Each structure stands twice: as structure tokens, then as C-alpha cells.
Chain A
Amino acid sequence: MKTLNTFVTTGLLLMGAAAFAQDSIRSSTSGDLKGVITGDVFFGFKFVNNKGIPNRPNVSTFTTVGYNPVVLYKLSDKFFFEGEVEFQTSEWQEGGSTSGNAVGEGLAVELEYANLNYVINKYMLVKFGIFFTPYGVFEDWYHQRITNRMTSRPPGIGHGGIEPGADEGVQVNGGFPLGGGAKLHYAVALLNGGKLVTDDPGNNNGSLEYESIIDNNVNKAVVGRIGILPVPWLEFGGWYGSSKVGKDVIQNNIGAIHSGIYFSIIKSIDPIKGTVCFRSQYSKLAVDNAVFRQTDSTTYTFKNNNSKAYYAQLSYRPTMLKNKFVRRCEIAARYGSITLPDPAQGKWIMPGTTSAASNKTQWAVSLDYWLKWNAVIKFSYEQNHPKKGALPRATWIIQAAMGL
């Protein structure tokens, strides 16, 4: 019945919203297939200083070479396909292990996204398949190596974070011009959603798995996001999503709420002869109380299963200076934090990682040199501060990336 409700409601939503549209997009006249192959390539070198940390030697390694081809096909004025496959060497993790779905000698392959879009009207399109979800904006817009000014993701955000990066489902999204040059955009998606881990006592119980192709229940995650640009250089927005993520050991249907906000500014400022970019995001996840089995088969109730993560990043590039070398340089700094429930400390293995998660704060700085609009070499320094008195860990990373 719930599934029927979901289908009926979604259908009505699409039909109703389409009816409100005053204009229709140009219909296809040629039907000619037009395509572009694009994507990005990158490689890096990392040095981790584990001085003073028991059983953790210093490490230096060439790491994470990636080739991510993107194919785009415009089938007509109304139909469009986009897909990306990621080929990457496994990413080095703290502790010396690696992550990724290895299919060969250290090779990880992932279908990042693959979705078919249908343009309903000027203000709305619907996409089916795997796509970046409306949980936040970092993974959708800023994680690519030529859009991310840093060499890494903020802690807890995107893949390996407290919310899914991409997921499978259906999404309606679009943008509207408002008065005075202001704009608004929205996205509403039905997704498979997260899965509650219940069969890993002492370790991952209580965590959510994401980006699973097969759902574990009939319920679908529903998430909506709205963004507003009052002026072209300033944007803010938020998202809210609800889902059932599975049943606990006494068959309670456990729910999860994702929510968050984001804020960004990008503006060229004449007095400082350059462009300033500020990006930030705050993400929160709240999972219902649930009963799990322990290793000795007794049960316990996992309460206050709440997680949060946030980051703020500021970068500056002297785009208006005459000196070509200086004009190509950009400096960036980021501060981020992730907070997990107490029972998760040192136990959960977050999606896409292999080492135990814990609360931490991180600050990072990067000096980027732009060879072209789509080619950059980044020199960055990160310091991770695990909470509760553990020693900080310093990491130097060099990364070269090029968009295709």
C-alpha cells in the first residue's frame, strides 16, 4: 500500500507541476544524436607523518591514479544521457590498507553515475538511474579534482561520509528565474536510500550503508533540496530527507532523517585584484533508536544515533593581476569536522573506507597552480585531529589533475 501511495503521489507531483509550467521547451526537430566524451584524470603523491603514534610508521606513496571518462549524449531536445565510470587505483588509507572494489591489481572500478534525463518543460526535468543525490551539494558540484580547490574531501562529506554521494532512483529537478536576477533551483528524489547494518555486532551495527544497488525494503528514501541565489555571486540552500533503513532485531522499522544547509560565495573583488570563493556545508543524520544483538547474543538499544559533519573553505586567486605566474596561483584553506555517536568510535568502518572511524577535526591548506582552466597542480597540507587526546596526524599531498 505504501509503495502504491509512493507511485501515485509521485505521478501526481509530476503531472501537477508540469501543468503549472506556462511554456514548453522546444520540441526536437532533428533527433540527431550528439555526444561528447569528457571526464578527468589525476594522480598524486602523499606523505603521512605518524611520528609518535604507536605501530604507525611514516608513509610516503604515489597514490590514487584515476581516469574517469564521462560520456554525454543528447538524443533530442528532450532526451539526454550522462554517465561516468571511475577507474582508480585503490586509495591509500590510514593504517596502510587500501579501499575500493578491486577488480585487478589494485584497480577499483565504479559506476559513478548513469542516468537518462527527460525535459518536461523549461522548469523541470526528470532523471532515472544513478545520479548524485540532493543530500548536500559538495559531492554533486565540488568533489571533482578541477572543482575542488583541495586535494581531499572534507571529513564526513560525500563518499565515505554520513550521507550518500550517488544513489539509484528517480529525481525531478529544475531552476526558475526570480525577479531582479535572483534564481531558485530545486530537486526532489526517490531513492533506494541507506541500509541499516544489523549483522555486525561489536563493529558496524547502527551504521548506514549507502549506494547499494538493491534496496532492503519496499520503502523509498525521499529527499528534497532547494537553493536560492539572490544575486549571482551568493547561494544558499538546504535539504531534508526521510527514509526507512531496515528493521532491527525485534523487527522495529527504523527510520533515518538526513538534513543540512549550505552556503557559498564566489566574487571577483577589484580592490584585492582577485576572486574569492567561499564554500560551506553542514550535514546531519539522525537514526531512530534500534535494538541490536551483541557478540554474546544479548541485546542492547542503540540510542542517540546522531552524526554530523561540516566544513568551511575559503580560497583566493589573484585573477586581475598582470603577472601571469601569480595570476595562475590560488591559495585555499579549509576547516572541517565529523562527530559520530559514542558507540561508533573506533568501530564503524565508514562507506568507502577501511579504517575505523572516529570523531575528528581537520584543517587543510593548499597552494594550487592552474596551468589551464582545466589543469591544476595542488600542493596541500592537512592536519587531522582525532578527538579525546589522540595525536594529530599530518599529511602532505601533491596532486595533478586535468579535465578532459
Chain B
Amino acid sequence: MKTTKTIFVLGLAVISLSVFVNGCMTTKEASEATGSQLWSENCGRCHYAPPISTYSSDQWEVLCMHMKSRTMIPDRDVQKIVEFLKSGQ
């Protein structure tokens, strides 16, 4: 019973956050962060950022999907980062 309650509480928390976040979605300031800036900020949180030439466009696509899965970077930011990395090839 305790576990079921915990699931409900956590579920409600996620749904509530979804509603909250949808209510205050992207501001102009946030949406203006460049792919280069986001790449530096997000990579640097755990490790130093690799040079763009380290990987091919296809490899960057795969690696960014991996990082999105592991570190939960928002999709909007991931798309910008991938575009930046591909443009630098």
C-alpha cells in the first residue's frame, strides 16, 4: 500500500510539474541561447567539452541522444546543440 501511495505521489508530482512547466514555457531570453553556448554549458557540467572535429555529424547525433537520456537536457537545447555541432563539421 505504501508503495502504491509513493507511486501516486511521484506520479502526481510529475504531472503537476508538467502542467506548471507548460504554463511558463520558453521565454525569449532562454530561447535565444545559442547552440555553442548550450554545448559549452551542458557538456562542462560533468566533463570538458570535446573539439567539434572529434566526431562526425552522425556520431554527434548519437552522442547527443545519449546525453539527453543520461542528463535530461531539454529537447530544445539538444536540437540547438546538434545543429551547432553539425554546422561546425
Contacts and interface: CB of A to CB of B under 8 A. Distances in A.
Interface of A: 2, 5-6, 9-10, 12-13, 16-17, 20-22, 25, 34-36, 38, 72-74, 80, 82, 117, 122-123, 125, 127, 132, 140-142, 144, 146-147, 172-188, 219-220, 222, 224, 226-227, 232-233, 235, 240, 242-244, 255, 264, 266, 275, 370, 373-374, 403
A186 B71 contact: no
A373 B50 contact: yes
Nearest to A82: B66
Contacts of A144: 47
B79 to A, nearest CB: 9
B29 A180 contact: yes
Contacts of B15: 13, 16-17, 20
A147 B46 contact: yes
Nearest to B43: A373
A256 B13 CA distance: 21
In which size bucket is the chain B interface?
A: 35 or more
B3 A244 contact: yes
A247 to B, nearest CB: 15
Interface in B40-67: 41, 44-51, 55, 58-59, 61-63, 65-66
15 contacts: A22-B22, A72-B62, A122-B75, A125-B69, A173-B69, A177-B21, A179-B26, A181-B30, A185-B72, A188-B11, A220-B3, A226-B17, A264-B45, A266-B45, A373-B50
A336 B70 CA distance: 25
Best-buried of A117, A219, A370 by chain B (most CB within 10 Å): A117
Given A72-B63, A240-B6, 20 more contacts: A2-B1, A2-B3, A6-B3, A12-B11, A80-B66, A82-B70, A132-B70, A144-B47, A173-B69, A174-B72, A176-B21, A180-B30, A181-B29, A181-B30, A183-B77, A184-B17, A187-B72, A226-B17, A243-B3, A266-B44
